[in-house]
Amino acid sequence: MFAKTHEKHLFQEGRETVRYITALCDANLLGSAFEEGDLVLDLKTFRAFYEGKKVSKKEAEALLKNAKNVNVVGKKSVALALKVLKVPSASVKKIAGVPHLQVYYV
């Protein structure tokens, strides 16, 4: 699995808020693109979004436990995210059979 945490600065009403998004992806999917109807999951063009540090399952679990917002792709990564984040499996979308999960807390 590859994991990467992104930092985003938002400015609203003169105040700065920092949001973090943790991206997690099964290593074997990077560099591929999947299409199903109008849906596209492009891990080739957007490889840099997911390709951070190669992490173990234990490291990925720790990242997910501390994450507020996540974008997860792949069977192993999504299964781990469902277990750690305790979100319903109905939240998972599949594009050409590849599971994809986004969880954002506002």
Confidence at residue 11, expressed as pLDDT on a 0 to 100 scale: 86
Distance, CA of 57 to CA of 2 (rounded, Å): 10
Q: In what order do the strands lie in the sheet with 15-25?
A: 53-54, 2-12, 15-25, 69-73, 98-104, 93-95
The hierarchical CATH code for the domain 2-12+23-104 is: 3.30.1860.10
pLDDT in tens, the chain (106 residues): 999 999 888 888 888 888 889 999 999 999 999 999 999 999 999 999 999 999 999 999 999 998 889 999 999 999 999 999 999 999 999 999 999 999 987 6
Confidence at residue 105, expressed as pLDDT on a 0 to 100 scale: 78
This prediction's pTM: 0.88
